[in-house]
Structure formats: structure tokens, C-alpha cells
A and B are shown apart, each in its own frame.
Chain A
Amino acid sequence: MDIIVCVKRVPDTSEADVVITGKDIKKDDLPFEINEWDNYAVEEAVQLKEKFGGTITVISVGDEDANEVIRRGLAMGADEGVRIYDPAIEGSDGVTIAKILAAAIKNMKYDLILTGAQAGDLGEGIVPVALAEMLGIPHATLVTGLEIQDGKAKVKRELEGGLMEVLEIDLPAVIGIQTGINEPRYVSIMGIRKASKKEIKLLGLDDIGLTPEDVGEAGSLTVLEELSIPPVTKVAEIIEGDPAEAASKLAEILKEQGVL
């Protein structure tokens, strides 16, 4: 079974003080990593390969730094790595990224395409479903359970309230993977170093039949105008003191408020 996994390199802003510079944030001090959802997608692909055999191609749209996450995919068990980049791609919106991936993927052989349901940085959740539409194949996103049998995928989609939607879709298809679908394996540094020996194929716009006008801000139907820090609407009353003091005060407050 041949699987393509689309991955993205994203900054980890969880502990950071975000600083806006122009139409982006300052990223020099931020640690980068593979998009968490995509990591689950790669693990899912590797588990399917272990079960059914076949090949896995990891593909990413991004500059040289994106090689890091492609290499990690290779170290996890993927066979080929592909990177698509041209400076004109900067400023592309979600649909345009899907367009770029579709342009590359339509020339590849595949039974299944996996990608994270959304990315931790921009959180749009557009790529998997847009990609499927562009390739003219079925899709399902927010998938937390995936079983392949006889050329079909039985998927469980995560709905709100702890409910799941169960579907069967024909392959080839695009599946948007939700976190928690599996337990990603550990990727060792030695594993990544070995994977670094493998060549990552670099594709430019010419290779995939697109022009600079097809991508970037020019090729996108949505444009980022401005970034701002969300206004703080409510601020909790912070209880001061060392842990023991603060805990005591809190208990008193709960009593006073009639909550206990």
C-alpha cells in the first residue's frame, strides 16, 4: 500500500511571550517541531506499512528548515522524502497550500494520503479536505480511528460531545488525522542522523506545473492584513502568598462564596 503523508514544521509557542513583527511573529527564539497532528499521521502511516507493506512518502511545503520534519518522518519509517519550495510560495493561504500539494501529488502513485487535521500554528484545518477535492478523491477529517480493508477505509470521525461518526470511504482517499489516534513512537537522534543520509527530493514550481502567480498572496483568495494581541477581557483575581498561604486563602474564599 503506497501512502503519502503531508507534514509541516511549526513553532512551539506554548511557553513563549509572543512578539508581533509586521505580519508575523518573532520566531528566532522559538523551538520548532513537527506539527503534532502530522506526527500522529506519520505514526499511523508507519503502522499501516508494518501491517500491509508498501511505501511511505513524506512531503512538505517549506524552505530548507522543513527538511528537519521530513527527516524525522524518514527516521520513523517513511521511505521517500519530498520538499516543495519557491520563495513565491510565502504568503500562501491554506487552500493555496493544498493547491501546491495537489500539483505535486497528482503525478505520484498512492492508495492513501494522510495529513494532520490541522496545524498547531495557524489552526485552519483546511488542507486535508481541500486537497481531496482538488485530487477528486473522497475524504474524511478529524479521524480518530482508521481501519483499512479491501480497498476501503472504515473511519471514526470525532464529533463534539464524545460522539463518533462512523463512515466507510473508498480508497484512494485523503484522511485528516486527529490527535490521540495512536501512540507515536520515539525517534532517536541516531535514527534521524541515519535518515539524513537519504536524499530529499526538492521540487520547484516548474516541476509541478505552477507559476508564481498561482501561489503566495497573489494566488490566494484570502489575505492576511494585520496581527494583534487579543484584548484581555477579564483577569482573574490572583491570590498571593507562598503555596501554603495561597491555598489557605483560596479555601477561605470558597467557603465565603458558599461554594463548599
Chain B
Amino acid sequence: MSEIFVLAEHRNGELRDVTFEMLSGARNLADKMGATVTAVLLGSGVNEMAEKLKSYANKVLVVDDPKLENFNAEIYQKVLSKLIKDHKPVVTLIGHTAFGMDLAPALAVELGLPLATDCIDLDAVDGRLVVTRQIYSGKVNAKVALKGDQFIATVRSGAFSIEEGALNGEIVTESVTIEDVPYRRFLGYEEAEVGEVDITQADYIVSVGRAIKDQENIPLVQELADVLGGVLACSRPVVDKNWLPKDRQVGSSGKIVKPKLYLAIGISGAFQHVAGMKDSGLIVAINKDPKAPIFNVADYGIVDDLFKVVPVLKEKIKEIKG
């Protein structure tokens, strides 16, 4: 029986959510393809993590080696490549994350296997992998078929929900001789600028996007945040323009937040941003564009100019709070 490999992603000793999401998604795919699910765990001293994976997979394949302690794309590629050549899994799933993006394309090229990235759905048609991915900033879905009989796909974080596993995967350890990779040295992790505000702890978040147009307009939304007793956050473009510091960024490459109230102001709702706030209690969006994807995630919306709405909203909330 063929296997579906799911590369377990972990950082600083913790397994990341995308791992469990992929394992959940892999189970459905495995049924369709008549395959089993194997969680592939590369790391150092990973027994505890291996135990956590057992219920989600038919097998947990572990390679435990000090050289694998911290993610290093080149080293992980060498090990994974050997495992794939030996076990010939029909599908290998890797998270479409900073780790995954640094690894998957090189792996696919080395092995000569087809690669589809940032997939939001996986299907099997006549034994071949057919994926769904988004293009044009999430406005279009593309169905892509992969040729051959072995496939590699990277999976978008949050595309699949985590379903409690009821399996009892066997933990199998393999040892792989790992060459040194002198041309790529991992030096360490660094926190991006740490400010005085931790948006992940806030109950009320007023988040602002590119439509704020100018740094001088930031006080307008800061005042709204103040009146709500909350914090000001933003989408990526605002950070790229240095209008707010990086620690205010909500999104897949920023912070994940779950406040009581998330006010998305002038934010289009691109997937990468939505991934950072979709589990918020109440989501309200203010955007001039009635077709902005944020309205597919929000509970309430106002389709209008934020510069007209925000000042009035601030006053009304002030009145109510007395």
C-alpha cells in the first residue's frame, strides 16, 4: 500500500498547527488513493513530538539526529530526498510556510517530481493528484493536475481544519547518514522589533490597511482604538511602508489574533491577512470596495470611505461608553 508523506513542521520543540491540518487533510486523500498516512518527523530529541503525532497518522517515521535540530532547508532536503527515494510515497505534503517554501521546490527539482504550491484543496482523480490553488490575490481558483505517479504539494496554513485523529500510528525510527552542509549555516532565530504593544493579548483590535493612504492619517484610527480601549494593528503593506512597526502586523507572516472585536479598516482581506484574524469574535469591515474579500469573512460591513465613517464611529462609541 502506498504512503502519503506529511512533513511535520516544528519550531523550538513545538509542532506547528499546519502539521495537524495537513495530517487531517491527508486522511481524506489517503482514502481516495487507497494509501496510508505517514507523518515524517525530522529533528533532534523528538520523542515527545512523535507521540503527539501518533493519533493522526498510520505511521510516524522519525529521523532523529542532532544535525536536524533546527530547520535547515539543505539538510532537510537531503534526508527527505532519501526517504522519498526509499519509500516512494505517492504524495508528499509540506506546509506552504517559510520552512516549506525554502525546501519544497529544491526537493521537487532534485527528484524530478511535479510540485504544486499553496494548495487549498487536494483531490485524487484516476490515481493522480489534482489540487486547487488560488491566483490573482485570491480572486480566482485554479485546478491544477500533476503528471506522473509521485507528487509533491505544499499546503496553505488553515486550508484544512484539524480533525482529531483516532489512529494509532506506529513510530518507526530510521537513521540516515547526513552529510555536512558547509555552505549553509544556521545562525539562530531573532525576534523582529519588540514594541510595547502585544496585539495578540488585546480584546479590541482596530486594524488598518493600505487605504489609510498616509502615515499622517494613522492618528485617526489610533483614536478609534483608544476609544475602544484596544490596540492598533495593521496589514502587511502598512508595515512595508514603515507606517507602523512590524509587531503590529496581523497575518500569516505577522501575528495571529483572536480578539473580541476586530475592526478591519481599509483592508481588502487578502488571504494572508485573513489567516491572522479569522477566528476573532466579531469581525467588522469598513471598505470602499463592495467586492473586497474581507466582506466574506466579516460579520458586519460598511461599504464607504473610511475617512468619513471612522470619525463618526469614534464619536458614537465615545457617547455609548459615556
B30 beta carbon closer than 8 Å to chain A = no
A209 interfacial contact with B, CB 8 Å: no
* Size category, A interface: 35 or more
Beta-carbon contact of A133 and B301 below 8 Å: no
- In this assembly, does A250 line the interface, its C-beta being within 8 Å of a C-beta of chain B? yes
- Write out the residue numbers on chain B whose beta carbons fall within 8 Å of the beta carbon of A242: 304
B104 (CB) vs chain A CBs: closest residue: A129
**B312 A248 Cβ-Cβ under 8 A:** yes
Whether A230 sits at the interface, judged by CB under 8 Å, is yes
Contact B185 A243 (CB under 8 A): no
B interface residues, tally (CB under 8 Å): 97
Interchain CB contact under 8 A, B102 and A227 = no
The answer to whether the Cβ of B188 comes within 8 Å of any Cβ in the partner chain is yes
Given A222-B147, A227-B141, the answer on whether A243 and B312 have CB atoms closer than 8 Å is yes
B190 at the interface (CB under 8 A from A): yes
Query: Is A77 located at the chain interface by the 8 A CB criterion?
Result: no
> In the assembled complex, which residues on chain A have CB atoms less than 8 Å from the CB atom of B240?
179-180
**Contact B144–A168 (Cβ < 8 Å):** no
CB distance from A148 to the nearest CB of B (A): 15
- Given that A236-B300, A237-B299, A250-B300 are known contacts, is A222 also in contact with B146, CB under 8 Å in the complex? yes
- Chain B residues with Cβ below 8 Å from A260 are 228, 317, 320-321
Decide: A161 near B256, CB < 8 A? Known: A228-B141, A236-B285: yes
Interface residue? B87 (CB, 8 A): no
Decide if B239 is an interface residue (CB 8 Å cutoff): yes
Least CB distance, B74 to chain A, in whole angstroms: 7
Q: Which residues of B contact A (CB under 8 A)?
A: 11, 71, 73-74, 96-99, 101-106, 108-110, 113-118, 130, 134-148, 157, 182-192, 228, 236, 239-240, 242, 246-247, 249, 252-256, 260-261, 268, 281-285, 289-291, 294-305, 308-310, 312-313, 316-317, 319-321
- 9 A-B pairs within 8 Å (CB atoms) are namely A139-B106, A142-B101, A158-B253, A161-B255, A162-B255, A168-B187, A237-B299, A237-B301, A255-B320
Q: Which 4 A-B pairs have the closest CB atoms?
A: A221-B114, A243-B308, A251-B316, A247-B312
